[in-house]
Amino acid sequence: MIQKEKTLAPAMTPILLIAAFSGYITQLITGHYIWEQWIYLMHSLASIALTFLFIPYSVVHFRRTSGTRRPIVSITGFITACLVYALILTGLQTLIQGQIEALRWVYTTHIYISYLIPLLLGAHLLLHRFSKPGKSLNTRTTFTFLGKKDGRRCIKALLISSVIIVALAFIHEAIPDAYTIEPVVSPYEYPYGDHPFRPSQNETVGNKFIDKRQLAGSDKCGACHKQIFDEWSSSIHSQAASDKSYVTNISLLADKKGLASTRYCEGCHSPVALMSGQLTKGGTHGGTENTLAFHEGVGCMSCHGIDNISHLKGVASYIFKPQKDYLFASSTHILSTKLTNFLIRIHPDEHRLDMARPVIKTTQVCATCHVQFMDKDMNDWGWVKMQDEYTAWLNSQYSGQKGDNFNNQTIQRCQDCHFPLVSGVDPSADNNQMIVSHRSLGSNTAIPWLNRDQQQLKATTRFLQADKIRVDIDLPWRKDATQSEKYINSKNGISSQTPYYLYLGEQADINVTVSNLSVGHNFPGGTTDINEVWIEIIARDAENNVIYSSGNLDADNNVEEQAYFYRTIAVDRFGKHVWKHDLFNMVGDSYKNVIPPGKSDVVNYSFLVPYWVKSSLTVTATVRYRKFNNQYSRWALQDENINLPITDIARAATSINIRKKPEAAQ
């Protein structure tokens, strides 16, 4: 027993000192340094080795000292051992799972225990040294296992480990920077001035190009954040560059105005292509198949790399700053990637700072890409205002700046609707196991339908049908309503509601009210020049005969031209319809019809009630939506027979009695 303890103690003590020293150093000196990350790796290795040595040592030690009749010494030793085991368990949890947000108390406990153990261990050793020995089952209770030679060995181990850390840090610093600040394609054109990214409003620190490895790599994020990565993969953000309609439009722009002009679009649709410097003659735009930019779209760093906002005019008006690297982050080797992810898990402080920058939680960050204008350098005409979801939100009740809408005054950000909290298992999950959804749900039903992504399509449909838009049919109250001559006792109560009905052969006037209840911006929003939203109204009699309809589809699946639409019609400088979404030709709108947040739109429908109608009349009104109108979708998706899905956003129905007009009233 004694011999086993004599063997284990000298082997365990140097490792114990290395583990303790490396652990305390990381707590006392905070920051994000290369040498610190090497210390974290050393601490992890030393702690694992210490675990394998401490367990047998503690068993042997307690078996040897169990008969000692010195209760205070035994109690302090027992408590110290329990704390060491707690330290081991919390450390192993951190090594295996990392610092999970919902279990951050585990890491905090690990730190506090590490400060308590030296105090209790010191007390235990002092009591063991100076307390009077009592009767014991063992003839000897005090042994000194560590001599001067062992002490020198401990000091030597600390010195060697320190030298190794310093040497590794120096070697790392001596290695040339893995990242480049030069454009991918050279020579790089500057047709829009000396700024490398114009006409995009994008900025970087010092306006330097960014290495594509610092822009892409969302799949690496998925190694730890699988559910978030899977949701993002289905989102419109991830397919911002690979969307077939975008590929058609960006290719048209490149053909008409040159590849450098695509910088205007790519700052929002393909930041990888823009900031890496490939949007110049000889390069490829983000809509080019089988390129990194094509597959990345708006990736993790596209949003989480935004450090600040330059202005709120949009067109990618953000300032990008790469995250600080962990060890081996620039390497693509599988082992290097695993070590990088391991370091992030056990020491995520810098990762939290980089991925959760304050600006990412603001509504203004959304304005950088969901606000748009075009200037003379693109359209050869002049400054033109385009979509602006931010100003629409700012003028709504949800911004807390307005008080003239019927809805509540709760401040609600873009993220609260489009990036809501959902149940999930993730290192970033809160105490209620809720994470931020990255499906970025909106109104794009075309992409998931084309991709046969039923889960994303159903989620988008539910989002559109979540009672944010409501349609009502106003009942046709009559001033000339007939009254019965039958006596009614006043005690039975008097109804102030006027009866409603229609006479055969008369003109019916039906008002349909469409209300924007809880969309935080104008309805519809986004690309209103190619989106298709309209009202379908149908009046049927008791035998299901249609006596009036508007908003029907023809044989070619087109909405009839007389339907009531919510849309914009863009025109060029000659007044011609810009139907291909070629915005560089657009100078304004000949028609614009949207509903601001908290407002309503009333549409009147008139029709004659035939004499052959069978009472009663059923009127239904439906707000219908299709992501792209047929003309655009068949051109952009290059399929003359394609019919995109139609979503019924809101529906209302009412029944109206039909009467024969009395002769006396005629």
pLDDT tens sequence across 463-500: 999 999 999 999 877 766 655 555 556 555 555 556 68
Q: Quickly state the pLDDT bin for 142 (edges 50, 70, 90).
A: very low
Alpha carbons 368 and 387: distance in angstroms, whole number: 12
| pLDDT value at residue 495 | 53
**What is the band of 139 on the pLDDT scale with cuts at 50, 70, 90?**
very low
CATH assignment of 2-174, among 3.30.450, 1.20.810, 1.10.3470, 1.20.120: 1.20.810
Q: How many CB atoms lie within 10 A of CB 657?
A: 11
Residue 440 C-alpha from the chain's centroid: 6
- Give tens-digit pLDDT for 599-637: 999 999 999 999 999 989 999 999 999 999 999 999 999
Report whether pLDDT(516) > 90: yes
| Amino acid identity at 367 | A
- Range scoring the smallest mean pLDDT among 53-67, 291-305, 589-603, 622-636: 53-67
Mean pLDDT of the chain: 90
**Residue 577 gets which letter from DSSP?**
B
Query: Helix, strand or coil for residue 632?
Result: helix
Distance between CA atoms of 453 and 458, rounded to whole angstroms?
A: 9
Provide the b/e sequence for 31-62 (b: ≥16 CB within 10 Å): eeebbbbbbbbbbbebbebbbebbeebbebbe
- Bridge pairing between strands 203-204 and 318-320: parallel
Concatenate the DSSP letters of all residues of 7-68 into one string. HHHHHHHHHHHHHHHHHHHHHHS-S--HHHHHHHHHHHHHHHHHHHHHHHHHHHHHHHHTTB
Architecture of domain 465-481+497-665: Sandwich (2.60)
For the chain, give every domain's residue range.
2-174, 203-436, 465-481+497-665
d(Cα 28, Cα 36) in Å, to the nearest integer?
11
Percent share of the chain, pLDDT over 70: 92
First to last CA, the chain: 118
- Residue 274: how many other CB atoms lie within 10 Å: 30
Q: Which of 271, 156, 294, 161 is nearest to 215 (CA)?
A: 271
In the predicted model, what is the mean pLDDT of residues 18-27?
A: 92
**SS3 sequence of 205-268:** HHHCCCCHHHHCCHHHHCCCCHHHHHHHHHCCCCCCCCCHHHHHHHHHHHHHHCHHHHHHHHHH
Read off φ and ψ for residue 385, nearest 5 degrees. Answer: -80, 135
- Say if residue 664's pLDDT is above 70: no
| High-pLDDT (> 90) share of the chain, % | 73
- Alpha-carbon span 107 to 92, nearest angstrom: 10
pLDDT of 179 > 60? The answer is yes
Query: What phi and psi, each to the nearest 5 degrees, are found at residue 375?
Result: -110, 180
The confidence band for 561, taking pLDDT boundaries of 50, 70 and 90, is: very high
pTM here? 0.88
Residues with Cβ within 8 Å of 234's Cβ and at least 6 positions away in sequence, in order, are 439, 448, 453, 455, 456
Show Cβ contacts of residue 496 under 8 Å, excluding neighbours closer than 6 positions.
Answer: none
DSSP states along 533-569: EEEEEEEE-TT--EEEEES-B-TTSPBPTTSEEE-EE
The closest of 123, 120, 127 to 142, measured between CA atoms, is 127
